[in-house]
Amino acid sequence: LNFQPTKFITSAANIRQLPDDAGVEIAFAGRSNAGKSSALNTITRQKALARTSKTPGRTQLINVFEVTEGKRLIDLPGYGYAKVPLAVKEKWNLALSEYLQKRQSLRGLVLLMDIRHPYRDTDQDLLHWATDCGIPVLVLLTKADKLKPSQRKSTLLQAREAALVFGDGVQVEMFSSHNKLGLPQVEVILSNWLNT
Ligand code: GTP
Ligand code: MG
């Protein structure tokens, strides 16, 4: 699948405002600042498809992109942002778990984690929710360029080990939007998800 023609479709303030639950889609989730929007731009080879920011919490809306007709990529708002009130966080967690449970077109979840801080609380919640519903998960250890090759390798092995408790529906890869590390692997997995 060629991701380059991907276009922005719409922003949704909540799950109910998403496009009709038809076709197939992949959701990108992760803590604020994990590199979700950057990863989307890298995968689609576009500089500014998804807005990136040094300020955590930049993506407050659900942004919907279309690769080709009926094949979507969904950029979910980041979680774990300290300045968001607790009530808002709880509401969003509820919406996320509902989305994972009910969305028929959802073929996979890309869960992005900064390679220097993997498996934080909400990351683990999301892994539980997704794997409990039988949704395949690709854990991407982002900003891999921040570590030396030897550290990267050992972190990847540890992260794969840690993923085993969630069953066999979880794959773990490294990724860097800065030097495109892991991009070929990610493309293969996403293409498979969208072509089934
Ligand atoms: P929210 O929308 O706030 O949830 O953040 P996000 O997960 O979309 O993160 P975003 O892609 O905006 O990136 C956050 C910051 O991390 C930016 O300053 C990016 O330049 C930086 N960043 C993203 N990917 C990489 C990477 O692969 N390597 C390095 N070194 N920095 C990265
Ligand atoms: Mg973002």
CATH classification of the domain holding 61: 3.40.50.300
Q: pLDDT, tens digit, for every residue of 111-162?
A: 999 999 999 988 999 999 999 999 999 999 999 999 999 999 999 999 999 9
Per-residue three-class SS string for the chain: CCCCCCEEEEEECCHHHCCCCCCEEEEEEEECCCCHHHHHHHHHCCCCCCCCCCCCCCCCCEEEEEEECCEEEEECCCECCCCCCHHHHHHHHHHHHHHHHHCCCEEEEEEEEECCCCCCHHHHHHHHHHHHCCCCEEEEEECHHHCCHHHHHHHHHHHHHHHHHHCCCEEEEECCCCCCCCHHHHHHHHHHHHCC
Residue 187 lies inside a defined structural domain of this protein: yes
Please name the residue whose Cα sits nearest to atom 31 of ligand 1.
143
Residue 114 lies inside a defined structural domain of this protein: yes
Comparing C-alpha atoms, which of 93, 111, 95 is closest to residue 103?
95
Residue 1 lies inside a defined structural domain of this protein: no
pLDDT of 83: 75
Which residue in this structure is represented by tokens 């889609």?
25
Residue 110 lies inside a defined structural domain of this protein: yes
CA distances from 75 to 50, 70, 72, 164, 168 (A): 8, 16, 10, 26, 24
Please name the residue whose Cα sits nearest to atom 26 of ligand 1.
143
User: What is the rounded average pLDDT of the residues 94-104?
Assistant: 90
Residue 107 lies inside a defined structural domain of this protein: yes
Ligand 1 in contact with 32 (CB < 6 A)?
yes
Domain span at 80? 7-194
pLDDT of 86: 84
Contact 109, 190 (CB under 8 A): no
Residue 35 lies inside a defined structural domain of this protein: yes
Residues 6+ apart with CB under 8 A from 76: 27, 28, 29, 36, 59, 62, 96
pLDDT of 66: 97
Contact 36, 76 (CB under 8 A): yes
pTM over 0.80: yes
What is the domain count for the chain? 1
pLDDT of 194: 97
Ligand 1 in contact with 41 (CB < 6 A)?
no
Residue 152 lies inside a defined structural domain of this protein: yes
CA of 35 to the centre of ligand 2 (A): 7
Segment among 14-18, 109-113, 153-157, 172-176 with least mean pLDDT: 14-18
pLDDT band at 57 (very low <50, low <70, confident <90, very high): low
Task: Give the separation between CA 154 and CA 54, rounded to whole angstroms.
Answer: 27
Residue 83 lies inside a defined structural domain of this protein: yes
pLDDT of 98: 87
Per-residue pLDDT for 167 more than 70? yes
